[in-house]
Amino acid sequence: MLETLIEPLQYGFMQRSLTIAVLVGIICAVVGSYLMVQRLALLGDAISHSVLPGLAIAFMIGINIFIGAFVAGLLSTVVINLIRTRSPIKEDAAMGIVFSAFFALGVTLITVIQKDTKIDLNHFLFGNILGVTVEEVRDTLIIALIVLTVVFLLYKELLFYTFDPLGAQAVGLPVNLLNLGLMMLIGLTIVASLKAVGVILVLSLLITPASTAYLLFTRLHEVMIGGVVIGVISSISGMYLSYFYNLPSGPAIVLVASGLFTLAFLFSPSQGILTHPVSNQNTPVLWREIKSLWK
């Protein structure tokens, strides 16, 4: 069994894929932990969908697609804020409007340029970890170094700010800068993860491993480290599934991550629903949940 796993690693593309899987698993779990505790999962989803036109336009004018994606992500948050502050439209609707518009633009642009070039829309949407290039590994490594350095250096300030933003502001911490810094890290992480998981599902790699770890651990750094382990296992497993069964890498990674979440949800020592039943009734949990919809 081990030989079947090791055998493909002699190929350059598998080595690159493995590197990306590890790097992306790490940074998504770390940054995703902040998204989770700040209840910004929806914003993460919006940004990741919004980067698609940036990828397309960058490709068309020949600049680094990471930069195009990053600019599009940034632009989308600016537009969301504009709609939210200058009109009666609330935050969730503003996000929905902007990300679907940007996403639609991206799909349209890629479909058009797809005719003349060899790019595949599905790779942008669902990931193509096996097709990662050396330049992309280099760029992802740079992003990972930036993300991890910032989180390490600013850990105690970010902990205070994400837990108690008013208290942090009252004590004189530059909360607007900290927030901006976090937004930048989120943007960079999303851009770095696009090749592995694709635009549609990158949110899952951000949120699911961190949430799984949240069911198992009690302190933020434990949740991050646990999330990293779970995220890396998910990425690598998804990569192998993609290789052996010719599946798109994004969905494969997400299915593994979601499976691990389900295990924690059912069996967590502190909060699993099977280890801590809500009541002593004999009816199965799922049936009880369905019945309660009628109340």
Partner 1 sequence: MISHRIVINSLSVNYRQLEALKNINLEILAGRVTGMIGPNGAGKSTLLKAMLGLIPARGGPILYNNQPLQDKLHLVAYVPQRSQIDWSYPATVWDVVMMGRVRKTGWFRRFSHVSRQKAIVALERVGMNELIDRPIGQLSGGQQQRVFLARSLTQEADIFCFDEPFVGVDQKTEFIIFEIFRELAEAGHIVLVVNHDLGESITNFDDLILLNQELIAYGDRTEVLQRSNMERAYGGNMNFFQESPNSKPNTPILY
179 lies in the binding site for partner 1 (CB under 8 A): no
Residue of 90, 111, 142, 167 that binds partner 1 (CB under 8 A): 167
Residue of 89, 131, 217, 267 that binds partner 1 (CB under 8 A): 217
- Residue 54 tokens read as 């940036």
Place of tokens 């995220």: 231
Stretch that binds partner 1, among 76-84, 160-168, 228-236, 256-264 (CB under 8 A): 160-168
Place of tokens 């600013």: 154
157 lies in the binding site for partner 1 (CB under 8 A): yes
Residue of 146, 220, 241, 255 that binds partner 1 (CB under 8 A): 220
Of 131, 138, 135, which is closest to residue 249 (Cα–Cα)? 131
182 lies in the binding site for partner 1 (CB under 8 A): no
Stretch that binds partner 1, among 195-203, 215-223, 239-247, 257-265 (CB under 8 A): 215-223
177 lies in the binding site for partner 1 (CB under 8 A): no
Q: Name the minimum Å distance from CB 172 to partner 1.
A: 3
Instruction: Quote the CA–CA distance of 104 and 53 in Å, as a whole number.
Output: 8
Question: How many chain residues are in contact with partner 1, going by CB under 8 A?
Answer: 25
19 lies in the binding site for partner 1 (CB under 8 A): no
Stretch that binds partner 1, among 75-83, 155-163, 272-280, 281-289 (CB under 8 A): 155-163
Residue of 7, 120, 135, 164 that binds partner 1 (CB under 8 A): 164
Stretch that binds partner 1, among 88-96, 99-107, 216-224, 259-267 (CB under 8 A): 216-224
CA 95 to mean position of chain CA atoms: 17
- Residue 128 tokens read as 């193509």
Q: Which is nearer to partner 1, 114 or 157 (CB)?
A: 157
Question: Given the rule CB under 8 A, which residues bind partner 1?
Answer: 37, 153-154, 156-157, 159-160, 162-164, 166-173, 214, 217-220, 222-223
